[in-house]
Amino acid sequence: MNSMEENYQLAKWLAGEMPEDELKAFKQTPEYATYEKIAAYSSQLKAPDFDADLLYQNTVNRKKNPQKSFLSINPNG
């Protein structure tokens, strides 16, 4: 099975759309145990809270008040 087919099979399995006969064969593959662990652990992950409005305001404020960052190469300046 090429990688594109394998990805398609994984997507069907993760979405719960794999037919019973394919699922039975898939569970017999050596990779199944690993995929099952990945699915189980990744389902427990939680994305951090994200405040899109605050990010937008910070971006707008930075554009209004750009910070100039440069080093002077003049030793007297």
Please state the φ and ψ torsions of residue 14, each to the nearest 5 degrees: -65, -35
For the entire predicted model, the pTM comes to 0.56
Quick: pLDDT tens for 27-70: 999 999 999 999 999 999 998 888 999 999 999 988 887 776 66
CA distances from 36 to 5, 7, 55 (A): 18, 15, 36
